Amino acid sequence: MPRPAAAQPDPARLPNLFGMDRVQIATALAPHTARVFHSSQVFHWMYGRLQTDIQAMTDLPVALRAGLAGRFRVAWPEVIEVRRSADGSEKYLCVLEDGGEVEAVYILYGSRVTLCLSSQIGCPLACRFCLTGTMGLLRNLSPGEILGQIAVIARDHHLAGTSFRIVFMGMGEPLLNYNAVMRAFRVMVDAKAFGLSPRRVTLSTAGLVPGIERLARENPRPRLAISLGATTDDRRDDLMPINRKYDLEALLAACRRVPLESREKVTFEYCLIDGLNDREEDAARVARLVRGLPSKVNVIPYNEAGVPGFKTPPAAGAGRFRDALLARGVAATIRWSKGRDVGAACGQLVTATAR
Catalytically active residues are 103, 346
Question: Using CA atoms, how far apart are residues 191 and 323, in angstroms rounded to an integer?
Answer: 41
As beta bridge partners, residue 272 has: 301
Please confirm whether the linkage preceding 220 is cis (ω < 30° from 0).
yes
Q: Which residues contact 117 (CB under 8 A, 6 or more apart)?
A: 104, 146, 149, 150, 166, 167, 168, 169, 170
Q: Which residues contact 230 (CB under 8 A, 6 or more apart)?
A: 236, 238, 239, 240, 243, 277, 282
Question: Using CA atoms, how far apart are residues 19 and 146, in angstroms rounded to an integer?
Answer: 8
Torsion angles phi and psi, residue 96, rounded to 5:
-95, 175
Q: Which residues contact 147 (CB under 8 A, 6 or more apart)?
A: 18, 19, 47, 184, 187, 188
Helix (H) or strand (E) holding 140: strand 136-140
Contact 278, 317 (CB under 8 A): yes
Q: What is the DSSP string of 67-112?
A: HHHTT-B---PEEEEEEE-TTS-EEEEEE-TTS-EEEEEEEEETTE
Question: Using CA atoms, how far apart are residues 299 and 227, in angstroms rounded to an integer?
Answer: 11
Question: Using CA atoms, how far apart are residues 144 and 72, in angstroms rounded to an integer?
Answer: 14
Beta strands in 165-231 (DSSP E): 165-168, 201-205, 223-227
